[in-house]
Amino acid sequence: MGDDSKFEIPESCRGFGQAGSCEKRLEFARKFIREFTKQIAPPRALDESNEEWTKWVRGRFIDICPSDCEAVPKDRCTPKGEFLVDYIWEEKENGRRILLAGESEWGSDRYGKPHWYRVEEDFEKLLPLKAPFKVLIFSSNSRLLENQGTVEGDFSIGFAKDRLETSLGNYTHHIPGEVYILIDFPQTGDQGGNGEYQSLVWQAERFGKSEAKLQKLGSGQLTRD
């Protein structure tokens, strides 16, 4: 992975609020996904460790960090270490304001068994953290039917969508303008998956508790080239 030409977060998307910025925030979300998924490892295969896959993800957050921001942590060589959450972009000036916060969670334990609750726990760490953009990366099993899944076991993208909507809907302190970007990198190897990612998005439109209906933002093919 090499350095990419940086892209910027528009000033109108760096704070919170409703009027005039909703479509610009969604436009930035689409651009983030396009840039983030370039030259990234395809979904973790069975012969790759979670740690190796996490290094690829951390590297992309570092590569595309806007020029007036700093990626925290800065070390792409280890999947360990975090500040508040797995990945943060914070402004170098303006009081080190956090503009983007991210979590990646593959859900597997030391025996390789998936657990949805691990993904859900990490996602709910993002809820109280105030940042205009919040990103969750997870890995579903594309061989399962639309809403198949268990809390302790494999889960489909439909199962994940339902559970994430429940978490968003139950939270009572949303700030208008917060955007949640969810990227599913389905499992590969014997567990299925063809390297195609899917992305979902939700934007809070009012203070407090909100109805949460995730919408599909896009999909595409991952490659290491």
Q: Is pLDDT at 109 greater than 80 in this prediction?
A: no
Q: Is pLDDT at 66 greater than 80 in this prediction?
A: yes
Domain ranges of the chain: 14-219
Cis bond leading into 73, ω under 30°? yes
Supply the pLDDT for residue 2: 45
Q: 170, 193 in Cβ contact below 8 A?
A: no
Q: Is pLDDT at 207 greater than 90 in this prediction?
A: no
Which range, 35-44, 54-63, 189-198, has the best average confidence (pLDDT)?
A: 54-63
Q: What is the mean pLDDT of residues 51-75?
A: 87
- The neighbour count for residue 110, using CB atoms within 10 Å, is 6
191 pLDDT tier (thresholds 50, 70, 90): very low
- 40-60 per-position pLDDT tens digit: 766 555 456 677 778 888 889
Q: Is pLDDT at 127 greater than 90 in this prediction?
A: yes
Cα(52)–Cα(133) distance, integer angstroms:
25
Which range, 2-11, 41-50, 187-196, has the best average confidence (pLDDT)?
A: 2-11
How distant is the alpha carbon of residue 150 from its chain centre? 21
Flag the least confident range among 61-75, 83-97, 185-199, 205-219.
185-199
Q: What is the mean pLDDT of residues 209-217?
A: 88
Supply the pLDDT for residue 1: 44
Q: What one-character DSSP code corresponds to residue 38?
A: T
Supply the pLDDT for residue 7: 76
- 159-182 per-position pLDDT tens digit: 899 999 999 999 999 999 999 999
Average pLDDT score over the chain: 81
Comparing CA positions, the residue from 11, 105, 1 lying closest to residue 50 is: 105
Percent of the chain with pLDDT over 70: 74
Supply the pLDDT for residue 144: 65
Contacts of 32 (CB under 8 A, 6+ apart): 64, 100, 133, 135, 181
Q: Is pLDDT at 65 greater than 60 in this prediction?
A: yes
